[in-house]
Amino acid sequence: MNDIKKIFKTIKLDKYRPSKLDKYRPSSTSYFDPVRKYFVPKTPEEEVRQKTIEFLETRLRVPHNRLRVEEAMAHVKRGARGRADIVVYRDDEKTKPLMVIECKAPDVDISCDEVREQAERYRNILRADYIMLVNGYKLIIYKYQEGKNFELVDISSYKELLESKVSFVENITLEPYSYEEIMSYELQKKFTQIYVGCETPKPVKFFALNFLNLILLKSIDDESILDLLGVFEDRGTGRTRFGNSAGYNYQIKTRLFIAKDRKNKDQILGLSLFGKYNTQLNVSIMNRERRHHSLQLDMDKYCKYNYHNNKIVITHSGTLSTGRGGSISKFTVIDYVKNNAPDLIRDEEVYLGSIDNSRLLEWNQPDVQNFIKNLFLYAVLRDEVRKKYKRKRSRRKK
Q: What is the pLDDT of residues 169-223, one digit of tens each?
A: 876 667 899 999 999 998 888 888 889 999 999 999 999 999 999 999 999 999 9
Question: How far apart, in whole angstroms, are the C-alpha atoms of residue 288 and residue 268?
Answer: 10
Final residue in a domain of this structure, among 110, 132, 162: 162
A 10 A CB-CB count for 30 gives 20
Q: Which run of H or E residues covers position 126? A: helix 113-126
150 and 286 assigned to the same domain? no
Question: How far apart, in whole angstroms, are the C-alpha atoms of residue 285 and residue 116?
Answer: 20
Question: How far apart, in whole angstroms, are the C-alpha atoms of residue 118 and residue 128?
Answer: 14
Structural domain contains residue 42: yes
29 and 141 assigned to the same domain? yes
- Reported as a single tens digit per residue, the pLDDT across 114-150 is 888 899 999 999 999 999 999 999 999 999 998 889 9
- Flag whether pLDDT at 307 surpasses 60: yes
A 10 A CB-CB count for 26 gives 16
Is the distance from CB of 272 to CB of 282 less than 8 angstroms?
yes
260 and 311 assigned to the same domain? yes
**Residues whose CB is less than 8 angstroms from the CB of residue 189 and which lie 6 or more positions away in sequence, other chains included:** none
Amino acid at the residue 85 = D
- Flag whether pLDDT at 30 surpasses 80: yes
Q: How many domains in the chain?
A: 2
A 10 A CB-CB count for 10 gives 9
- Flag whether pLDDT at 26 surpasses 90: no
Is the distance from CB of 267 to CB of 383 less than 8 angstroms?
no
Question: What percent of the chain is predicted at pLDDT more than 90?
Answer: 70
Give Dmax over CA atoms of the chain in angstroms: 76
**Residues whose CB is less than 8 angstroms from the CB of residue 122 and which lie 6 or more positions away in sequence, other chains included:** 71, 73, 82, 84, 87, 100, 102, 128, 131
| Residue 290: predicted pLDDT | 73
Structural domain contains residue 167: no
- Of 336, 341, 194, which is closest to residue 272 (Cα–Cα)? 194
Average pLDDT over residues 44-62: 96
Structural domain contains residue 171: no
Structural domain contains residue 173: no
| Residue 245: predicted pLDDT | 46
| Residue 276: predicted pLDDT | 87
- Flag whether pLDDT at 294 surpasses 60: yes
- Flag whether pLDDT at 323 surpasses 90: no
Question: How far apart, in whole angstroms, are the C-alpha atoms of residue 258 and residue 241?
Answer: 17
Structural domain contains residue 170: no
126 and 190 assigned to the same domain? no
Question: How far apart, in whole angstroms, are the C-alpha atoms of residue 100 and residue 133?
Answer: 9
46 vs 325, higher pLDDT:
46
Cross-sheet strand order for the sheet of 291-298: 233-243, 249-260, 266-275, 279-286, 291-298
| Residue 313: predicted pLDDT | 97
- Of 144, 171, 149, 134, which is closest to residue 56 (Cα–Cα)? 134
155 and 219 assigned to the same domain? no
Q: What is the pTM of this model?
A: 0.71
330 and 279 assigned to the same domain? yes
Torsion sign, CA atoms 59, 128, 252, 311: negative
120 and 252 assigned to the same domain? no
147 and 183 assigned to the same domain? no
**Residues whose CB is less than 8 angstroms from the CB of residue 110 and which lie 6 or more positions away in sequence, other chains included:** 102, 104, 116, 133, 134, 135, 138, 139, 140
301 and 206 assigned to the same domain? yes
Final residue in a domain of this structure, among 162, 191, 211: 162
- Reported as a single tens digit per residue, the pLDDT across 258-292 is 999 888 889 999 999 999 899 999 999 987 667 78
194 and 330 assigned to the same domain? yes
Question: How far apart, in whole angstroms, are the C-alpha atoms of residue 264 and residue 342?
Answer: 21
270 and 203 assigned to the same domain? yes
CB-neighbour burial class of residue 346 (10 A; exposed 0-12, middle 13-18, buried 19+): exposed
Final residue in a domain of this structure, among 162, 190, 207: 162
Question: How far apart, in whole angstroms, are the C-alpha atoms of residue 192 and residue 205?
Answer: 9
Structural domain contains residue 174: no
For 247, the domain range is 179-397
pLDDT band with cut points at 50, 70 and 90 for residue 23:
low
| Residue 321: predicted pLDDT | 84
Helix or strand or coil: residue 139? strand
- Reported as a single tens digit per residue, the pLDDT across 221-260 is 999 999 999 999 999 988 776 655 444 455 678 999 999 9
| Residue 391: predicted pLDDT | 74
Structural domain contains residue 253: yes
Structural domain contains residue 62: yes
The CATH number of the domain holding residue 57 is 3.90.1570
Question: What percent of the chain is predicted at pLDDT more than 70?
Answer: 91
152 and 294 assigned to the same domain? no
Amino acid at the residue 296 = Q
| Residue 243: predicted pLDDT | 57
Average pLDDT over all residues of the chain: 90
A 10 A CB-CB count for 164 gives 11
